[in-house]
Amino acid sequence: MKIVADENIPFVKQAFEKLGEVVTYPGRHINSAAVKESDILLVRSITRVDEPLLRGSKIRFVATATIGCDHIDIDYLKKESIQFASAAGCNANSVAEYLAAALLILARRHGFSLSEKTIGVVGVGNVGSRVVEKAGILNMNTLQNDPPLSRKTGELHFRPIEEILKQSDIITLHVPLTYEGQDATYHMVNDSFLEKMKKGSFLINTSRGAVVDNPALLMSFRQNKLKGAVLDVWEGEPEINEELLRAVELGTPHIAGYSLDGKTNATILIYRAVCHFLKVPCDWQLPELPSPPCPKIEVDDSGENDEKILAEVVKKAYDLERDDKALREVLEIPQSQRQIFFDQLRSKYPVRREFNSIEVNVKGANQELSQKLKALGFRQR
């Protein structure tokens, strides 16, 4: 059996080598020739899996080590009786931690307390529900919008999008990219959406780039409607709008879910899916992950407010501003090299561990602060 895989799926050879011959490629180099004689295909979000890629191949099973599936032609797979699996939920906590870091940075830069702000969470699935939890820990007022989930559950805490836009100081998007139906999300954030947002508010997008009409967002900045935006995903990536990158508060290269923990969760999920498909035992064990760059954090509660200390701890655990700085280097290189540079920022992304791998000791910490640190995921002595 031959297995073709994206080389950036962690431990992919170790996990799958007992199941067959594993051949890896950069995600954008997986083409019809590469998969023609293969049985199983393992991809990430940058590989488009559709009829042009798979026609005439031996592929019987496709798995994506991502939560999103907009790069997969599900209908074609069904038509050809090709089985499919995704890694739903694998990096939900990673994205939620990214959001916590971004929110604390916005509060520090603009001199406000998160406890004074309302955040509107649009899309409350695996990721959005974690974001709601993290925002609550940071004492934010949260509003939730998820029309499909609202219809399914009938729960009253889901609010109409118009109410969310009118009342929220920060809007954060956690929806799949879909093009059809009453809940289509392609260019969901358009001129009308942005016009309805509270003046001076912030937009955060860690879902998919095309959920936001990037030219419309840029125009909203020109017209001083929004205070700022945090973008981890970009319409047309790996090519991104230079003017928009200069305009946003924080910009990163589609790495919100790129904690090593999240990526290895994905490997485990697709490995189990392949084993189930092949009807063989799942006997591969994940090796011990490397320690985080900062395994222990010591801070002093010297009369500072809790939010400031949380911001200090989170920055030491995950320096989101470093990722922002790295992406902005794209502005200093020739246009012809920028797409390659964007991909390299992702493929060579440094080890980032989640908060639960880090021990925090706050000297003199009050009980409430200790509880917040624990709730965010940090270990304590």
251 secondary structure, DSSP code: E
Is residue 208 part of the annotated active site? The answer reads: yes
Rounded to the nearest angstrom, the gap between the alpha carbon of residue 76 and the centroid of all alpha carbons in its chain is 26
Is residue 44 part of the annotated active site? The answer reads: no
* All residues at 6 or more sequence positions from 216 whose CB lies less than 8 Å from its CB, including other chains: 187, 189, 190, 191, 194
Torsion sign across C-alpha atoms 298, 301, 304, 309: positive
212 secondary structure, DSSP code: B
**Both structure tokens of 137:** 């820990």
Catalytic pick from 44, 174, 254, 346?
A: 254
Three-state secondary structure call for residue 303: coil
Task: Return the axis-axis angle of helices 367-376 and 306-317, rounded to nearest 10°.
Answer: 30
Please report which helix (H) or strand (E) contains residue 271, including its range: helix 260-278
Q: How far apart are CA 123 and CA 326, in angstroms?
A: 29
Catalytic pick from 208, 346, 352, 353?
A: 208
Q: How far apart are CA 86 and CA 69, in angstroms?
A: 7
DSSP string spanning 170-207? EEEE------SSTT--TT-BSHHHHHHSPTT-EEEE-S
Rounded to the nearest angstrom, the gap between the alpha carbon of residue 313 and the centroid of all alpha carbons in its chain is 21
Catalytic pick from 97, 237, 307, 354?
A: 237
Is residue 249 part of the annotated active site? The answer reads: no
125 secondary structure, DSSP code: S
**Both structure tokens of 361:** 């000791």
Catalytic residue list? 208, 237, 254
